[in-house]
Amino acid sequence: MSFKIPKVSHDLLWRHLFSQALPVTVGEVLLPSLVGFCSSISVPGPHFITRSYCLLTYTATDASQKLEEKVANPMDFLRHLKDPVGRTRSAVRAADYLETTLKLLKIKLHLSGKLRFNVTDLLDRKQKEVISKETGCDYQIRSIKCPKNDTYRTITGVCNNRKHSHLGSSNRAFARWLPAVYEDGVSVPRGASEGKLYNGFPLPLVRRVSNEIAHTANENITQDQELSLVFMHWGQWVNHDIDLAPSSGAGVSPELHCETDCAFKSPCFPIKFPPDDPRKPSSHSCMPFIQSASVCNPRTFTREQINAVSSFIDASTVYGSEDFMAKSIRNQTNQLGLMAVNQNFTDAGLEFLPFENETRSVCALTNERMNIPCFKAGDKRVTENLGLSALHTVFLREHNRLVTELRKLNPHWDGEKLYQESRKIVVAVNQIITYRDYLQLLLGEETSKWIPLYSGYNENVDPTVSNVFSLAFRFGHTSVQPFVSRLDDSFQPLGSFSHVPLHLTFCATWRIIMEGGIDPLIRGMVADHAKLMKQNQLLIEELQNHLFEQTERMGLDLAALNMQRGRDHGLPGYNAWRRFCGLSEPQNLDEFSEVLGNSKLAKKFMELYGTPDNIDLWIGAIAEPFVPQGRVGPLLACIVGTQFRNLRDGDRFWWENPGVFTLQQLHALRNISLSAVICDNTHIKKIPSDVFKISNYPENFIDCHKTDTLNLSPWKDDDEPESSTKGTKLSEVCQ
């Protein structure tokens, strides 16, 4: 017998739901101490929304307090890297107000003895509009009128598509290629309710899956005989350019203790330890996990995660994805178009990234005696690992080098023109290296299948990074080495600095400032092999047990985090994505053994999940055998290839799109290489011609002066000085 939701008039329902006093509640946690405070406030708008503002504002906490007390733990490092800032924080707060309002409505219905159903089913269009307006969501999703003419892409990515101005822009929801799967159809992740069956089987604990399938001892890895560590680091560099799912937490109640409480109370979604876990602490039985921040979705109210950065390959790692950030990392002491650099230290005369402005930095806790803060760049994750920081530094220097050279060619250009033209070149360089060099090695023989030859910009292609891609592209974790290598000018180990365990380098900016700069790191990246992903060697112990293990005994588990993140994001299981990609859908052990080419591994999966339908996407996808000449399996090749085709074809400012560059400029750009960029911006003297591939030193290295530095003569502008004002300034776009 089905229950039909009664149709209630707008006025009657509104009066019933919004006119009575309520206890202030979030999730299942009652906060009686706040009832008096929240009952006394006087803010216009429906009571439920007023209560949401009260609760979230009153209970907001500042993580910096923990830093002042020097008690940061691994979760604090992760939170620092993924905290929402600027307009992202505003967008996240609006979504939090919306979600909390709906929770309070649901509680009211339960208190009134109503049957269980989605509260949104009771709201008509007008009621939803009121909620959207009062929570601030209507402001976050407003449409923007784009300028008729623009020379440069915006920092946020807005107006890249004139037809749909928001496509690919920052602070928007990830795209859904398949509908979200939540326990309640709205927001509760799969696996949050113990004992719930999926396709007839319970979901396994992600930590158990990690222990039994992903774990690899640091000493038991196989070296990739073809690809260098630069290949691994470039994958992360590109990933940080196109997606960032910040952590939730704005408005988390002080009575919610995500780091110690093992019950699901959104946004706390703890990772429980199996009873026999060798690293299970005696004090508690779970590993902390905080859900990704959501974004306003007033159309369906289904939980959607926010992408804080622009989807486009636009070097947002260098320049930022918000206007305020872009401005803050530019050199404010002159109007020459330069990026800001470190004012305290140099790298043998070359620039370091500037430090962040925090009075107490989480990076300083990795070595309190050195007291070196985190770096500041276009992306907050800049200091996550040393190789990533090195790439950030190289492209900061490349921007400033281009500005200097272009100013010599065109002394009549103002600082804004110099900034924009240099940025445009840096973006093109990133696009070329990614598609010409990196993706060819990643997708192998399937590259042309998923990314055919470029045929021009298509305004009907949605470039927005998909939710599934944001998880699938974490495959790169399987190619990380357990140690960070640093080499001297002769590519020999750099004394005691040469072989540092990976977990001792997270957020350790002091190791760059005080231990030789970025050159030794880049030499190590160039000369060292990437780890080869094998089915019995998926994730090194440094990442599986010691992630961000700097200040506490127990680190985090990246494999478990990835699988829990997939459930948090409402991603369907393995077979749903095989079906999406037109691949076979294994239904039993024999069929799955054939897909994996490994009956022993298939049996492990079946024992854990019961059916391939339930397998978490990340672990299932990375377990597949590689496509020919590639480094991912068929499912990842489909997801990654589809996304990168959309990123290219849906980008109006793509470097090959007619009119973006002149023919002479295109010819010059086609000769660039990552090797040349590194040589132009470091003191390194010898380098492989292709830094993604392993080369023997010194026989397969070339002198840096033999690399093809970008020929900038096609950028010489012989027009009259007033022509430099033709370009549209960022400050004039989409205001």
Q: Tens digits of per-residue pLDDT, 410-432?
A: 999 999 999 999 999 999 999 99
Q: Who wins on pLDDT, 650 or 63?
A: 650
- Locus of tokens 């000085």: 721
User: Residue 121: inside a domain, yes or no?
Assistant: yes
Answer whether residue 446 is part of any domain.
no
Over range 354-367, report the average pLDDT.
Answer: 86
| Burial of residue 659 (number of CB atoms within 10 Å: 0-12, 13-18, 19+) | exposed
What is the 3 state secondary structure string of 279-320?
A: CCCCCCCEECCECECEECCCCCCCCEEEECCCCCCCCHHHHC
Predicted confidence (pLDDT) at residue 47 exceeds the cutoff of 80? no
Of 101-105, 354-358, 488-492, give the range with the top mean pLDDT.
488-492
Is a pLDDT exceeding 60 seen at residue 51? no
Q: How many residues does the chain have?
A: 735
Residue 533: predicted pLDDT = 96
Q: In this predicted structure, what is the pLDDT of residue 142?
A: 80
pLDDT band for position 99 (cuts 50, 70, 90): confident
User: Quick one: angle between helices 519-527 and 386-409, nearest 10?
Assistant: 110
Look at residue 23 and tell me whether its pLDDT is greater than 90: no
Tracing tokens 């050195």 back to the chain, one arrives at 370
Known active-site residue 240: yes
pLDDT digits (tens, 9 = 90+) for 521-578: 999 999 999 999 999 999 999 999 989 886 556 789 999 999 999 999 999 999 999 9
Residue 112 has pLDDT above 90, yes or no: no
Residue 722: pLDDT over 70 = no
* Residue 25 located in a structural domain: yes
Residues at the binding site are 477
pLDDT of residue 34: 33
β-strand 702-703 against 686-687: which pairing, if any?
antiparallel
Asked, for residue 574, whether it belongs to a domain, the answer is no
Q: Which residue has the higher pLDDT, 258 or 398?
A: 398
If you average pLDDT over residues 718-724, what whole number do you get?
56
Band (pLDDT 50/70/90 cuts) for residue 645 is: very high
Average pLDDT over residues 259-288: 88
> Computed over its alpha carbons, how large is the radius of gyration of the chain?
26
**Kind of pairing, strands 197-198 and 350-351?**
unpaired
User: Comparing 408 with 357, which gets the higher pLDDT?
Assistant: 408
pLDDT score of 281:
78
Higher local confidence (pLDDT), 549 or 11? 549
CB 228 within 8 A of CB 527: yes
User: What percentage of the chain exceeds 90 in pLDDT?
Assistant: 70
Annotated binding site for heme b: 477
Lowest mean pLDDT among 31-35, 172-176, 280-284: 31-35
**Domain total in the chain:** 1
**Mean predicted confidence (pLDDT) in 259-275:** 90
Residue 66: predicted pLDDT:
56
Nearest to 592 by CA among 550, 561, 635: 635
For residue 5, is pLDDT > 50? no
- The reported pLDDT for the residue numbered 675 is 98
**Given a cut of 50, is residue 735 above it in pLDDT?**
no
142-157 pLDDT per residue, tens: 878 899 889 999 999 9
Q: Is residue 220 part of a domain?
A: no
- The 3-state DSSP class for residue 111 equals helix
Helices (H) and strands (E) in the chain, counts: 28, 19
**Residue in 47, 215, 240, 546 annotated catalytic:** 240
Backbone angles phi, psi at 644, to 5 degrees: -70, -30
Taking Cα atoms as reference points, which of 74, 66, 67, 70 lies closest to residue 555?
74
pLDDT of 309 strictly over 60 = yes
Please say if the pLDDT value at position 38 is more than 80: no
Higher pLDDT, 264 or 141: 264
pLDDT at 25: 37
In a domain? residue 119: yes
What was the pLDDT predicted at 8? Answer: 42
Omega before 204 cis (within 30°)? no
> What confidence tens digit (pLDDT) does each residue in 577-618 have?
999 999 999 999 999 999 999 999 999 999 999 999 999 999
Place of tokens 């107006």: 159
Q: How many angstroms separate the CA atoms of 615 and 585, rounded?
A: 12
The span from the CA of 544 to the CA of 605, in Å, is: 18
Tell me the average pLDDT across 692-709.
95
Q: DSSP E strands: which ranges in 330-398? A: 346-347, 350-351
What average pLDDT does range 177-186 have in this prediction? Answer: 94
Query: pLDDT digits over 381-394, tens only?
Result: 999 999 999 999 99
Tell me the residue range of the domain where 45 lies. 10-148
Higher pLDDT, 654 or 498: 654
Q: What is the dihedral of CA 493, 496, 502, 506, to 10 degrees?
A: -120
Mean pLDDT of 39-67: 49
pLDDT of residue 301: 83
pLDDT, mean over the chain: 87
d(CA 35, CA 57): 14
Does some domain include residue 396?
Answer: no
Whether pTM exceeds 0.85: yes
Asked whether residue 93 is domain-assigned, the answer is: yes
Q: If you search the block for the tokens 């054939």, which residue do you land on?
A: 594
Return the ∠ at Cα 381 (arms to 375 and 382), rounded to 5°.
Answer: 40
pLDDT higher than 90, residue 728: no
